[in-house]
Structure 1
Amino acid sequence: MRLRSPSMSELHAFATAARLGSFTRAAETLCVTQGAISRAIARLESHFGQPLIHRNAHRLTLTDAGRTYLEAVAEPLAAIEAASAAMLHKDRQHHLTLSAVPTLASVWLVPRLPDFHRRHPEIRLDFVPYRRDEDFSGPTPDAAVLAGVADQWPGWQVDYVIGRELVPVCHPARAHARRASGRWRSPADLLDEPLLFHTTAPANWQHWLQAAGVPSAAPRLATGFDQVSILVQAVKADMGVAVLQRCLVRDDIAAGTVVAPFDLPIRLQRGYFLCAPKERRDHVALSRFREWLLEVAKEDEQDR
């Protein structure tokens, strides 16, 4: 059977331009160029051999034939679009796209994901590139694990995950030598050591020292690193002492490759947060991931 109906793209271009009265606004709505809308309608008119739209400088108007055709196709076109959206939505309910701070993802999150997949084998989880300034505009993940403070993202669904607890770490030999010589009696004594730091959070040393009872501390920072993994390697190479989120060095402390000379329960406001637009709060996969993530993070922070 020979099909006499035009393409869906031509129908959508025609119906949207007719509804909005503008090629430009139709192009913006359908995320295409104005030229694409104009060409699609021109093909539609050529297909039927008659004009469907009157073009003028102010607003598009329909010809009698265009008005008749729009009345016939508008409702079926809307029904097809609604059915297609429902099918895609149903498929997406068990598919979650996520971005996360790379260090937290590699050191803390990914090693725990097998547990999530055992609990929820029906959910597909894909990671997309991390953007520090994620704003959920354009093609985006469903949710993102970002570093910051809770009130940094107004209007979003924001949950604290982990990372507020800071701890200084150093090479075991350095800690043993300083303690044997009596040089490390209080947190203030760390000011005499080379203080290693992360370049995105150089104030962490001052914040930690103040919380540890050294209110007038003015730490002289030694060497900065832009990646936590390299900073930890610098500690293992005995280049100095670093202050880091406990969750990122927990395994190293447990293995004895680094030690925490002053292991105090110091928490700051900055941490890692699961962020998502509020309209995605009913996304099935996101809800289940959120519930699991907050549970394992709480267990991790309680297991000191």
Structure 2
Amino acid sequence: MRFKSPSLPELHAFLAVCQLGSFRRAADALCVTQAAVSRAVLRLEQRLECTLLDRSGNRVQPTPRGREFQTLVEAHVAGLENAIGEFGVRAAPRKLRVSVVPTLCTRWLVPRLAQFHAQHPGIEIELRQFHHDENFERDDVDLWINVKRPARAWPRGIRARYLLGRELQPACTPAMAAGLRQPRDLLKVTLLQHVNYPGNWALWLSKVGGVDTPPTLGAGFDLGNNLIVAACAGMGATLIQPWLIEAELAAGQLVLPFGPAVVTDRGYYLCSRAALAENDAVEQFTQWLLDEAKISAKQFEMKP
């Protein structure tokens, strides 16, 4: 049997705009992006081969044909909602789709997810691919954990909360650390660098070691995880957030030769759409992340 009826997302988007008079307000009500609502309505108009909405004024209104279609389908969509309620569908697991900076995801978040699932069995966390230069308009992601970009403000409609990650400390193998007596001694070893943040070493050496001249940097890597692997291999010292190397510190593969950390203007932030502020699953996951971040910061005596 070939169905001629539109999809429910298309109908929901159209009816929400009709009722609220705005693509933005409809997107907030449906917990999707404004672009997703616009595309859904456009697909519906293409399917029906007519213009359903008048977009020319301050308030979006149905055209005469749109009003006719609204009258025909509104009661049926409401009937479907009522039918589901009366049927008493067993609550399905709530799913949160999350995009996370790769190194943070692998080394900090994933090892803790089993604990979250044990505490919140009704919430499923689905990890999605991370995009650099994220614009926070993706339809396949509900939450992001991203690096703060000092020169750019968070987009409108995005709620950002700091987790952790501003502090950096040197780390190296125990053998390399044996030859280090004071912070300036790091100038004698290879300084592995993150290519996106080449000024990290100069910042730390200036504030902690009193070194005013820019240091000579060694091999560069574009992922923190690769920096950690290179440091474990003895290629040089790295400058890293210490809670990213919890396993290596516990195993004795790496040590922190000097205690003081420097604080940058970056750090990792949990970002969500403001429209999801009252979503129970988002709130529970957010609170759990904030609690875990506090535990990590306290472990290394850093205040988030």
Q: Normalising TM by the smaller chain, what interval?
A: 0.7 to 0.9
Structure 2 portions without partners, runs of 5+: 22-36, 53-62
Q: 1:230 aligns with which of 223, 226, 229?
A: 226
Matches within 5 A, 1:16-165: 28=39, 30-32=41-43, 35-38=46-49, 70=69, 73=72, 75-77=74-76, 79-80=78-79, 94-149=94-149, 152-155=153-156, 156-165=158-167
Q: What displacement does 1:111 show?
A: 0.7
Structure 1 portions without partners, runs of 5+: 21-25, 42-59, 179-183
Q: What displacement does 1:153 show?
A: 1.3
Q: What displacement does 1:93 show?
A: 8.2
Aligned residue for 1:190, secondary structure, equals: helix
TM-score for the superposition, normalised by structure 2: 0.73
Check conservation: 1:96, 1:285, Cα contact below 8 A: yes
Per-residue CA distance 1:158-192 (angstroms, 9 max, x = gap): 1111211211111211221x1xxxxx343222122
Check conservation: 2:6, 2:44, Cα contact below 8 A: no
Check conservation: 2:277, 2:283, Cα contact below 8 A: yes
Residue equivalent to 1:295: 291
Q: What displacement does 1:245 show?
A: 1.2
Q: Does 1:212 align with 2:211?
A: no
Partners of 2:235 and 2:140 lie apart in 1 by 40
Per-residue CA distance 1:18-44 (angstroms, 9 max, x = gap): x89xxxxx9855142864331899xxx
Check conservation: 1:209, 1:217, Cα contact below 8 A: no
- Bigger drift between 28-37 and 120-129 goes to 28-37
Per-residue CA distance 1:23-74 (angstroms, 9 max, x = gap): xxx9855142864331899xxxxxxxxxxxxxxxxxx765xxx98x658525
Percent identity of the aligned residues? 32
Check conservation: 1:191, 1:219, Cα contact below 8 A: yes
Partners of 2:204 and 2:252 lie apart in 1 by 22
Aligned residue for 2:219, secondary structure, equals: strand
TM-score for the superposition, normalised by structure 1: 0.73
Residue equivalent to 2:244: 248
Q: What displacement does 1:222 show?
A: 1.0
Partners of 2:238 and 2:280 lie apart in 1 by 40
Q: Does 1:7 align with 2:5?
A: yes
Aligned residue for 1:109, secondary structure, equals: helix
Residue equivalent to 1:173: 175
Judging changes above 3 Å, is the alpha-carbon distance between structure 1 residues 27 and 264 closer, same or farther for their aligned structure 2 residues?
Answer: closer
Amino acid at match of 1:153: W
Bigger CA radius of gyration: 1
Partners of 1:96 and 1:239 lie apart in 2 by 39
- Superposed CA RMSD in Å reads 3.7
- Bigger drift between 280-289 and 28-37 goes to 28-37
Check conservation: 2:203, 2:262, Cα contact below 8 A: no
Amino acid at match of 1:38: E
Partners of 1:193 and 1:6 lie apart in 2 by 70
Aligned residue for 1:234, secondary structure, equals: helix
Check conservation: 2:45, 2:51, Cα contact below 8 A: no
Residue equivalent to 1:276: 272
Aligned residues: 263
Judging changes above 3 Å, is the alpha-carbon distance between structure 1 residues 232 and 82 closer, same or farther for their aligned structure 2 residues?
Answer: same
Amino acid at match of 1:97: R
Partners of 2:138 and 2:296 lie apart in 1 by 34
Judging changes above 3 Å, is the alpha-carbon distance between structure 1 residues 223 and 110 closer, same or farther for their aligned structure 2 residues?
Answer: same
